[in-house]
Amino acid sequence: MNAHELITRNAAEVVTESEIEALADDPEGKRAYVGYEPSGVLHIGHMLTANKLIDLQEAGFEVTVLLADVHAYLNDKGSFEDIRHTAERMRDQFIAYGLDESNTQFVLGSDFQLDDDYTLDLHALELETTLARAERAMAEISSGDSVKVSQAVYPLMQALDIPYLGVDIAVGGMEQRKVHMLARDVLPSIDREPPTSLHTPLIADLGTGRGKMSSSEGVTISMEDTREDIESKVNDAYCPPTADPEPTDDGAERENPVLQVFEYHVFPRFDAVTVERPEEYGGDLEYDAYDDLEADLESGELHPADAKGALAEYLDRLIAPGRQQLAE
């Protein structure tokens, strides 16, 4: 796979395509970053953007992981001291998951976000941004009902992180896109370049195929799960046997989360996937590419129960090193 393919595979969106092409032409030594509010234990949402960082490392990029302690504090995630402690645990989880340690820089937000220059630049951005604009940027990130001033400051700090970390590309899930668009709009007002960004898709809830898989609601997978937990969650996952998922009562779209996890989590990390089947049901199936597995599931050649068995096996392989690290 060439650099452009590695950078863009499984991305829901890049902003902009021509900026990405320029980076792909000469990726050596370029820097990409993702910021995470510290949570200690990795879950499948972190793993999705981490897969993209691994792709970027393979393409020649250097990677910064921002452990966004100040952002978590602004988003009401607990005392600053507790958040800092959690951030320390998260670093080891990323390494266990497979980020290349020699090429990953971990930075705490509070290492630079409390400095004088940063604070003054932040105030300059506050002067340039209406409350309504900041609030819109936060709509998918914050869950609070009544917006606090901290939630208006949050996206401006996230925008400012990009020039302060000196990165060439900001990576995040699609829920971060409005913050990155805000960054493109406001950074030029303080003489900084509008940043390039790349967004990973949102994966539907494993149990229902609806909405977004998240750590706070519905069914998710985390590094704390035992093999048995994974098997039972994957077994109960929504996975219609054909290409036409059943409509929901409210007409909302339903995805097939089993296929999504194969596509975004398993195939990027394994060269081939084996689905084990007893001889009487046709014997093992071997897939080099996600599309072939999808086609077989949709044609009925591959039964959902067999696909789920393989999914649990490969997810367990991805999670086992992080689980072991937590036990140390």
Which of these segments, 10-18, 170-178, 235-243, 278-286, binds ligand IYR (CB under 6 A)? 170-178
Q: Report the candidate in 135, 182, 183 with the shortest Cα–Cα distance to residue 162.
A: 183
Work out whether 158 is an interface residue with ligand IYR (CB under 6 A): yes
Nearest to ligand IYR of 170, 293 (CB atom): 170
For ligand IYR, the nearest residue by Cβ is: 35
Give, for 307, the enclosing helix (H) or strand (E).
helix 304-327
Applying CB under 6 A, among 161, 225, 231, 316 the residue interacting with ligand IYR is: 161
Work out whether 195 is an interface residue with ligand IYR (CB under 6 A): no
Say how many C-beta atoms besides its own lie within 10 A of residue 85's C-beta. 14
Applying CB under 6 A, among 65, 68, 183, 261 the residue interacting with ligand IYR is: 68
What phi and psi, each to the nearest 5 degrees, are found at residue 163? -70, -35
Residues in the interface with ligand IYR (CB under 6 A) total 13
Q: How far is the CB of 100 from ligand IYR (least distance, A)?
A: 19
Work out whether 273 is an interface residue with ligand IYR (CB under 6 A): no
* Residue 176 is assigned to a ligand binding site: yes
Interatomic CA distance for residues 283 and 274, integer angstroms: 11
Work out whether 177 is an interface residue with ligand IYR (CB under 6 A): no
Q: Report the candidate in 55, 52, 51, 85 with the shortest Cα–Cα distance to residue 67.
A: 85
Q: How far is the CB of 133 from ligand IYR (least distance, A)?
A: 16
Interatomic CA distance for residues 315 and 305, integer angstroms: 15
Work out whether 194 is an interface residue with ligand IYR (CB under 6 A): no
- Within 8 A by CB and 6+ apart from 295, the residues are 301
- Within 8 A by CB and 6+ apart from 145, the residues are none
What phi and psi, each to the nearest 5 degrees, are found at residue 196? -85, 140
Q: What binding mask, one character per residue, do residues 75-114 give for ligand IYR by CB under 6 A, x or -? A: ----------------------------------------
Which of these segments, 48-56, 63-71, 123-131, 264-272, binds ligand IYR (CB under 6 A)? 63-71
Which of these segments, 64-72, 183-191, 305-313, 314-322, binds ligand IYR (CB under 6 A)? 64-72
Query: What letter represents residue 155's amino acid?
Result: P
Q: What binding mask, one character per residue, do residues 18-57 give for ligand IYR by CB under 6 A, x or -? A: ----------------xxxx--------------------
- Within 8 A by CB and 6+ apart from 160, the residues are 118, 121, 122, 125, 187
Bridging pattern class, strands 196-200 and 13-15: antiparallel
Nearest to ligand IYR of 107, 311 (CB atom): 107
Task: Count the helices and strands in the chain (H runs, E runs).
Answer: 13, 8
Considering only residues 128-157, where is the footprint of ligand IYR by CB under 6 A? Answer: 141
Give, for 66, the enclosing helix (H) or strand (E).
strand 62-67
Interatomic CA distance for residues 108 and 106, integer angstroms: 7
Which residue, chain included where needed, has tokens 């080099």? 288
Work out whether 170 is an interface residue with ligand IYR (CB under 6 A): yes
Q: What binding mask, one character per residue, do residues 199-238 give for ligand IYR by CB under 6 A, x or -? A: ----------------------------------------
Q: Report the candidate in 239, 235, 255 with the shortest Cα–Cα distance to residue 313.
A: 235
Quick check: helix, strand or coil at residue 82? helix
* Residue 69 is assigned to a ligand binding site: no
Nearest to ligand IYR of 8, 113 (CB atom): 113
* Residue 215 is assigned to a ligand binding site: yes
Tell me the two tokens of residue 256: 């097939």
Annotated binding site for ATP: 215
Annotated binding site: 33, 154, 158, 161, 176, 215
